[in-house]
Amino acid sequence: MSKYADVIVDISHEKVDRPFEYIIPAHLEEQIHCGSQVFVPFGRGNKQISGFVIGMKEQADFAKEQLKSILSVVEKSTSADGDMIALAYYIKTNYGSTMNQALKTVLPVKKSADPVQEKYISLTADERTLQEAIEKYSKDKRSVAKLRLLQELEKESILPYEIVRDKLNIARPTLSALEKEQLIRIDIKENLRDAFHMKDKQEYTITLNPEQKRIAEDIWNRYQNGDLRPSLIRGVTGSGKTEIYIDIIDKVIKEKKQAIVLIPEIALTFQTVLRFYKKFGERISVIHSKLTQAQKHDQLEKAKRGQVDIIIGPRSALFSPFPNLGVIIIDEEHEGTYKNENVPRYISREVAIERARLSRGFVVLGSATPSVESFYKAEQGEYQLYNLEHRATGASLPDVQIVDLRDELNAGNRSMVSRKLDELILDRLEKKEQIILFINRRGYSSFVSCRNCGTAIKCPHCDVSLKYHRNGKLMCHYCGYETSMVKTCPSCGSKYIGTFGTGTQKVEEEINKRYPQAVTLRMDADTTKKKQGHEEILSAFANQEADILIGTQMIVKGHDFPNVTLVGILAADLSLYNSDYMAAERTFQLLTQAAGRAGRGAKKGEVIIQTYSPENYAVRLGAEQNYKEFYKYELSYRKLLGYPPVINMLGILFACENETHLTQKCNEINLLIERRIRAKEAARAAQNKIQKIGPSEDVIAKINDKYRKMIYLKAEDYSDLTDIKDTIETYMEENPDKQISITFDFSMMGNRKG
């Protein structure tokens, strides 16, 4: 029984103050747990103030005589703070971080600055007035700035103020002058939400079909009956999952509870948000990465004050401080972005389940291609599974054909477009239907290497090859290092040095050359960097301003283009050759999701998958969109080799600038782990073995001048892993070492960039 509690007495949000130790009096033992709000005496005058319990222990760090006792438990804490603190404790315990880091993840950072207002410059002049002004200013040498801005606005009638100021170098007086002439207007836009004010608010008219209705009702009934197990909806792309979410949220809100909807950032499109907005209007708040910290904080404050009922956003929306949370929905639950890449490396799905448990709400997961892990849990009965087999609009799933690229080579076709794909592209261009070409890489092309000696040009700070970009620069995608393209091989001096592989820029060039009649748009990490970048590209494509959209995986997410009848996947293999155990799963997901983009409208769609390994099960079953069969294969493979979800896995990453010190420390911790494993195994029966792999070099042995080593642990019992993590954390607290950083990774999703 814990006798002492760490209590945080002031959540200033600026920084979380250090906790104070208090005695838990015997009569309160039963009621106090992590996250409890309590009254404690504080300071010289023993003023009674409230605080939150963030930790419990049997031994006190301070002398017992110095400690005061907790006075009482706050009966009904109305704020969401208690839940959030308990959640922080859960994150700290399960993923490895300090309580402080966990609290900072969970509590919104308060910025004292006023919310930053986003400003936009838009064109108000009509076409003729604009042309006259351009004509006039092009004759006047002192008006180059005015001319520059007008020419930009001619192309893009609305521009963010920062771009105008920083990229076009237009000063304020110039703007004022143009505004006075009534050529432009300066607008303030609070956030995405306000953009909808300009739209007409329409009535929401969709009625669920029987299949959708059955699922929505069952989920709701289970909740009413106290079955709080998470639900997993597996429904083919376009089967109407989003409508089910909307229906459930509606029910939740009618009970005066609130909802959180997680969507991968990239799928957080205007289209999706608009559907929610049409139904729920002003009661929605959208969080996205383009908001400033202050704006984000504002949105979360609204949640706390009960001014909104629904928050939609990427994983950080999980921490919306709703006082009475009813449901958390995670759309596209298989997405890698739901894992936090920074410490604490929490997994959104698990944290969502804990958050829902704390507030007695429930979780709904949805995907066309659930993660093997979630589907496994559904099979085990931990989640309730629902299937949606048909598209809601009655549209049929597209025809998918696999093209073996080896046959193309044999037939003398060295281009990246196979004969079959070429035929279909020409057909669609003729019919004025749209095409999506998908490639799993960004950049002009990939790495640069010497054809004479084979040397690849590497980043001097990281153990990865540099990527060539069209601006003639070589770039490191890990640390941002940039240098000019080399002319000769640094190793042998040969001039035969060049790029290999295919990137989106290169594809776009070839497509433009091959189909000069077609208008193309490209969407990848480079073209979407600016504010609203992917919105603009997607809406241009949706408005049929282009025939062909070329892009990386970001184009396969949740978008609905009714006029797209052909999807070409140029090289389906690329994602197969990643070194981690999830490569096949990710390939299958990409192919299924990409194929799902075709034929969303009335016309039937066709999909061409080009590959060098047509016999691979991920490619073959992805083409068939056969999730169940894929899952069966994949699970037997994981069983055979001992990978999650059949077994639990923990990766421990050690990083240090000094290689010798790294090796030393790694060995030290390795011994510690081995001792702990032996002790645990001795203490019980021989089953539940813990397996250790390493220490060994990480897949990438150096990033940002820091050398990296890994130790992997596999265990049947999850608590064995957290126990070893705790052992290491305690050891590092007792033997601090500033040089080395140790990071725990419990999910081993392995979604590395590159």
Give the binding site for ligand ADP (CB under 6 A). Answer: 206-209, 212, 235, 237-243, 392-393, 560
Choose among 151, 271, 149: nearest CA to 199: 271
Q: State in angstroms the smallest separation of the CB of 272 from ligand ADP.
A: 8
242 binds, among ligand ADP, Zn ion, none (CB under 5 to 8 A by kind): ligand ADP
Please choose which of Zn ion, ligand ADP, none residue 560 contacts, taking the beta carbon within 5 to 8 angstroms, the exact cut-off set by kind.
ligand ADP
Phi, psi of 56 (to 5 degrees): -135, 145
Of 402 and 489, the one with the shorter C-beta distance to Zn ion is 489
Rg (CA), the chain: 28
Binding positions for Zn ion, 489-548, rule CB under 5 A: 489, 491-492, 494
Nearest residue to 561 (alpha-carbon basis) of 576, 544, 536, 573: 544
Q: Which is nearer to ligand ADP, 124 or 209 (CB)?
A: 209
CB 268 to ligand ADP: min, Å:
14
Q: How far is the CB of 267 from ligand ADP (least distance, A)?
A: 10
Shortest distance (Å) from residue 715 CB to ligand ADP: 36
Q: How far is the CB of 244 from ligand ADP (least distance, A)?
A: 7
d(CA 489, CA 53) in angstroms, rounded, equals 61
Cα–Cα distance measured from residue 750 to residue 754, given in angstroms and rounded to the nearest whole number: 12
Instruction: Output the smallest distance, CB 720 to ligand ADP, in A.
Output: 38
Residue 409 binds Zn ion, judged by CB under 5 A = no
Answer yes or no: are the C-beta atoms of 507 and 416 closer than 8 Å: yes
Q: How many residues form the binding site for Zn ion (CB under 5 A)?
A: 15
Which residues are CB-contacts of 318 (< 8 A; sequence separation ≥ 6)? 260, 262, 328, 348, 351, 352, 355
Instruction: Identify the CA nearest to 616 among candidates 574, 580, 674.
Output: 574
Distance of CA 694 to the CA centre of its chain: 29
Residue number with CB closer to ligand ADP (558 or 645) = 558
- Residue 481 touches which of ligand ADP, Zn ion, none (CB < 5 to 8 A by kind)? Zn ion
Query: Which residue type, as a one-letter code, is found at position 69?
Result: S
Which CB sits closer to Zn ion, 274 or 699? 699
Q: Kind and range of the H or E element at 405?
A: helix 405-410
Residue 460 C-beta: closest distance to Zn ion, Å: 7
- Choice between 237 and 527, CB closer to ligand ADP: 237
* Shortest CB 475 distance to Zn ion, Å: 9
Site membership for Zn ion, residue 655 (CB under 5 A): no
Are the beta carbons of 298 and 333 closer than 8 angstroms?
Answer: no
**Residue closer to Zn ion, measured from CB, 260 or 489:** 489
Per CB under 5 A, 138 contacts Zn ion: no
CA proximity to 511, closest of 464, 539, 546: 546
* 243 and 212 Cβ atoms separated by less than 8 Å: yes
Please give the Cα distance from 603 to 600 (Å, whole number).
8
Do residues 553 and 753 make contact, with C-beta atoms less than 8 angstroms apart? no
Sheet holding 4-8, edge to edge: 68-69, 20-23, 4-8, 47-57, 37-42, 72-73
Binding-site partner at residue 243 among Zn ion, ligand ADP, none, CB < 5 to 8 Å by type: ligand ADP
Tokens of 662: 């790294």
Q: Binding mask 548-587 vs Zn ion (x if CB under 5 A, - otherwise)?
A: ----------------------------------------
Closer to ligand ADP by CB, 146 or 600: give it: 600
Show contacts with Zn ion in window 470-499 (CB under 5 A): 476, 478-479, 481, 489, 491-492, 494
Q: Indicate the helix (H) or strand (E) that contains 520.
A: strand 520-523
What minimum distance in Å lies between the beta carbon of 408 and ligand ADP? 33
Say if CB 386 and CB 644 are below 8 A apart: no
Q: Which residue has the tokens 């608590």?
A: 719
| Min separation Cβ 457 and Zn ion, Å | 10
Burial of 370 (0-12, 13-18, 19+ CB in 10 A): buried
**Out of ligand ADP, Zn ion, none, which partner does residue 731 contact, by CB within 5 to 8 A per kind?**
none
Asked if 698 contacts 710 with a C-beta cutoff of 8 angstroms, the reply is yes
- Between 567 and 690, CB nearer to ligand ADP: 567
Residue 235 or 551: which CB sits closer to ligand ADP? 235
Q: State how far the Cα of 106 lies from the Cα of 94, in Å rounded to an integer.
A: 14
The contact pattern for Zn ion, residues 436-465, with x = CB under 5 A and - = no contact, is --------------x-xx-x---x-xx---
How far apart, in whole angstroms, are the C-alpha atoms of residue 381 and residue 96? 28
| Residue 664 sits in the site that holds Zn ion (CB under 5 A) | no
The residues binding Zn ion (CB under 5 A) are 450, 452-453, 455, 459, 461-462, 476, 478-479, 481, 489, 491-492, 494
